[in-house]
Amino acid sequence: MDTIPLDYETLRLIWWLLLGILLIGFAVMDGFDLGVGTLLPAVARTDAERRLVLNVVGPVWEGNQVWLIVGGAAIFAAFPALYAVSFSGFYLAMFLILFALILRPVGFKFRSKVEDKRWRAVWDWGLFIGGFVPALVFGVAMGNVLLGAPFHFDDTLRIYYTGGFFALLSPFAVLCGLVSVSMLVAHGAAMLTIKTDGPVAMRARRYGSLAALATAVLFVLAGIWVAFGITGHTIVGVADTAAASNPLFKQVASATGGWMANYQAMPWTWIFPVLGVLGALLSALLLRAGRGGSAFLASALAIASIILTEGVAVFPFLLPSSTHPSSSLTLWDSSSSHLTLFVMLVVTCLFLPLIILYTSWVYRVLRGKVSPESLEQNHNSY
């Protein structure tokens, strides 16, 4: 261990930051795909318009989903206890997301196989479900992180999950789900404004600006709820940030408004919720003005800031326990070994820049608007 240039505490913190980056990358890059799918029935009224919308995201959605795959792999390797609790306790929710995400590639591939209105209408609604359901469920999951999950460990560190699927759909969690849907719809509308013209772009600007305003309002309501109505956790005493991982080697206190402690201790972190609101409001204004590129950047800022707002609030917790607070998982007591984190960091430093460079190249090649003429010229279009 002495040959590893970074200490255990630093590596754990780095991987917490990397998980945040991967989550933001997924929300920004694949988020507009989900938003476009959710907007499909609203912005496209004819078959030609629907093809236009589908071909905005059709060439890029697979690459964008890499962020989700890498994020899941990072959780598995860097924080295996978090992976075990979340993927077993939220089993049905994960299957719901998986089912919805499977509809997306199937919808893209099968929709145009048959020139029948009813056939295409079925797959259009499948693509809507593939956008709306993951956006909602991911937001509900973020809400349940703040509420805490009903799990605990016994003395041998076996996991016991005592909740059910419908218990995840509490009013606060559903509110967080609506924040997620509205912010991704605004993000998708910005992409449609960039890539299309005519009635599709006009409707996207209108619905997107409303969604961006809803994002700001719902985000503020969720923040007030967290401050005055949600029980938050605090580690009692000083956590041993360099010890071997064991979630039971700590004591946790709980109190209403406890998730505001980090903001009180570090006032500069208020910049994240402020940017979340301002980014959403700015996105609404820019969409109204038809400035799609600027609106996309503003909505990306809002998405990143909203995710960072929750990350700061729960730090250092990864998944709090609502029934046994001392079983809560933190980055200090649920990570892989020192050597594993270091080897993974080296691999990430080698391959993550390649992913970013390749993604940048793809978007450069695919720059420009999607038009009926371009679809007629491209026989591989959806």
83 φ, ψ (degrees, to nearest 5):
-60, -45
DSSP bridge pairs for 160 = 152
Query: pLDDT (tens digit, 9 = 90+) per residue, 131-142?
Result: 999 999 999 999
On whether the CB atoms of residues 95 and 121 are closer than 8 A, the answer is no
pTM for this one? 0.93
The answer to the question of residue 373 being in a domain is: no
Q: What pLDDT is stored for residue 379 in this prediction?
A: 66
The answer to the question of residue 232 being in a domain is: yes
The answer to the question of residue 233 being in a domain is: yes
Q: List C-alpha distances in Å: 249 to 87, 325, 372.
A: 23, 12, 62
User: In the chain, helix, strand, coil percent, each to 5?
Assistant: 75, 5, 20
Q: Among candidates 211, 155, 164, 193, which has minimal Cα distance to 38?
A: 211
- Kindly report the average pLDDT of the chain as a whole number: 90
Question: Does 341 have pLDDT greater than 80?
Answer: yes
User: Would the CA dihedral through 16, 18, 22, 24 be positive or negative?
Assistant: positive
Assign 314 a pLDDT band (cuts: 50, 70, 90): very high
User: What percentage of the chain has pLDDT greater than the value 90?
Assistant: 58
Beta strands in the chain (DSSP E): 151-153, 159-161, 231-235, 252-256, 317-319, 329-330
Assign 5 a pLDDT band (cuts: 50, 70, 90): confident
- Least confident piece of the model among 35-39, 72-76, 109-113, 305-309: 109-113
Question: Does 372 have pLDDT greater than 80?
Answer: no
The answer to the question of residue 138 being in a domain is: yes
Assign 155 a pLDDT band (cuts: 50, 70, 90): confident
The answer to the question of residue 380 being in a domain is: no
The answer to the question of residue 372 being in a domain is: no
Q: Which domain holds residue 317?
A: 8-239+248-366
The answer to the question of residue 378 being in a domain is: no
User: Would the CA dihedral through 79, 85, 87, 90 be positive or negative?
Assistant: negative
The answer to the question of residue 202 being in a domain is: yes
Q: List C-alpha distances in Å: 10 to 69, 250, 284, 294, 338.
A: 25, 19, 39, 36, 10
Identity of the highest mean pLDDT range in 89-98, 113-122, 174-183: 174-183
Question: Does 267 have pLDDT greater than 60?
Answer: yes
C-beta neighbour count of 155 within 10 angstroms: 6
Q: What pLDDT is stored for residue 362 in this prediction?
A: 85
Number of domains in the chain: 1
